[in-house]
């Protein structure tokens, strides 16, 4: 690690906004947006569509769906923290190369040999198919043995078949990704259907490269914050930082790191008003929390210190309130609870942002109410 930079927090915030496509220019398409933010959290499909849509001028939820299911420039898989994300399909070798190398103890229900056997069976089963979990269970059992189907895994007041203890490893290693839903049923399929010739990057290359990509979006930052964002052991995160060739940054007395030669934005953050959905990457990935959620925002817009459980009103790069949407048919009702008085300019920008949100979600009309949001945090 080399070099020292001394940015201010306003400079850091301005850079993050621009890198996330949340400033005026935005990003060219959903895949570029997903790459820029290192994936959009997609446990809630509508939230992922809004996360990417708000970063791409003129985009709608159909734009995002087409990128995922028609053009396959996005891929739905498990990314940071093992949660469902939309990633740029072109980045899948990077993600699987890095995540496959994260230290993880074999699950209690599978020996290392059986874990490898299940991952190989999953990869073979979905190579040319889209399978529901029941169909995939039958396919894995046929390729490994009856033991893989033993219903011994506790889950949601039920028992899942043994092979599912290897599911996380199968995603991390690039053996499987999600296919389009069959009605309300999730399907699994092969990553090579999204990215022909797909092969994970070598871990020694992928880990440090993921650090530089993370720092491009969320830096300056620290190994501890990287570990928290990615959901990995801190020693592994520190090792990737050490191998990445970084520059030290002194941000108003706080030590952090950035990619060597990575410039700060010259454009100020002033004038940016955004409505970010549940689990938006900006609020989850940006640290320190007190810079992103200052003052009252720490109590109102965080849930037990956890970011993402409330949709956030973002003003000039910091959380300045919460909001809620309610849809009735094609009509959208948005309630925004600001934590400070809005200026006339901010109110006009908020009106425009409500209209933009309705456009992304393909609503026919929108009403905007300024007042308390009674809805609690998303679990």
Cross-strand partners of 250: 255
Q: Give the pLDDT score at 1.
A: 46
Q: What is the distance between the alpha carbons of residues 155 and 31, in angstroms, rounded to a whole number?
A: 33
Pairwise CA distance, residues 283 & 303, whole Å: 12
Those residues whose C-beta lies under 8 Å from the C-beta of residue 64, and which sit 6 or more positions away, are: 30, 48, 49, 52, 53, 74, 86
Nearest 5°: phi and psi at 228? Answer: -65, -45
Beta-carbon count within 10 A of 216 CB: 18
**What confidence score (pLDDT) does residue 379 get?**
61
Name 358's Cβ contacts closer than 8 Å, sequence gap at least 6: 332, 334, 365, 366
Stated as kind and residue range, the H or E segment containing 27 is: none
pLDDT under 50: residue ranges of the chain: 1
Strand 84-88, strand 74-78: pairing: antiparallel
> ∠ CA(168), CA(81), CA(64), 5° rounding?
90
Residue 275 forms beta bridges with which residues? 313
E-strand stretches of the chain:
4-5, 40-41, 74-78, 84-88, 151-155, 158-161, 177-182, 185-189, 246-251, 254-259, 273-276, 312-315, 318-328, 331-338, 365-370
pTM of the model: 0.95
CA 264 from chain centre, in angstroms, equals: 23
The pLDDT score that the predictor gives to residue 340 is 93
**Rounded alpha-carbon distances, angstroms, from residue 118 to 154, 191, 361:** 18, 17, 39
């Amino acid at each position: 690690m080399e070099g020292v930079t001394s940015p201010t927090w306003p400079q850091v915030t301005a850079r993050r906004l621009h890198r996330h496509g949340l400033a005026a220019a935005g990003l060219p398409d959903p895949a570029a947006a997903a790459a820029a933010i290192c994936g959009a959290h997609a446990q809630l499909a509508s939230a992922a569509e809004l996360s990417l849509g708000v970063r791409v001028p003129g985009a709608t939820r159909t734009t995002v769906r087409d990128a995922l299911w028609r053009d396959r420039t996005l891929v739905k898989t498990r990314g940071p923290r093992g949660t469902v994300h939309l990633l740029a399909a072109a980045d899948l070798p990077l993600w699987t190369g890095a995540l496959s190398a994260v230290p993880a103890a074999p699950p209690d229900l599978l020996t290392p040999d059986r874990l490898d056997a299940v991952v190989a069976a999953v990869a073979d089963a979905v190579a040319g198919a889209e399978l529901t979990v029941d169909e995939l269970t039958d396919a894995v059992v046929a390729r490994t043995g009856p033991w893989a189907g033993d219903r011994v895994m506790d889950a949601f007041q039920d028992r899942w078949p043994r092979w599912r203890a290897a599911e996380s490893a199968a995603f991390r290693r690039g053996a499987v990704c999600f296919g389009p839903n069959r009605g309300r049923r999730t399907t699994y399929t092969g990553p090579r259907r999204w990215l022909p010739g797909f092969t994970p990057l070598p871990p020694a290359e992928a880990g440090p490269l993921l650090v530089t990509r993370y720092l491009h979006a969320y830096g300056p930052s620290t190994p501890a914050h990287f570990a928290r964002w990615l959901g990995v052991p801190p020693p592994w995160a520190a090792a990737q930082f050490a191998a990445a060739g970084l520059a030290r940054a002194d941000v108003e007395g706080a030590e952090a790191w950035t990619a060597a030669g990575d410039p700060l934005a010259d454009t100020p953050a002033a004038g940016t008003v955004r409505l970010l959905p549940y689990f938006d990457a900006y609020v989850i990935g940006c640290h320190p929390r007190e810079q992103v959620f200052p003052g009252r925002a720490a109590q109102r817009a965080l849930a037990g210190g956890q970011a993402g459980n409330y949709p956030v009103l973002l003003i000039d790069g910091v959380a300045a309130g919460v909001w809620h949407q309610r849809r009735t048919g094609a009509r959208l009702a948005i309630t925004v609870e600001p934590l400070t008085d809005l200026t006339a300019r901010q109110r006009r920008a908020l009106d425009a942002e409500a209209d933009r949100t309705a456009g992304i979600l393909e609503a026919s009309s929108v009403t905007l109410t300024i007042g308390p949001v009674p809805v609690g945090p998303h679990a």
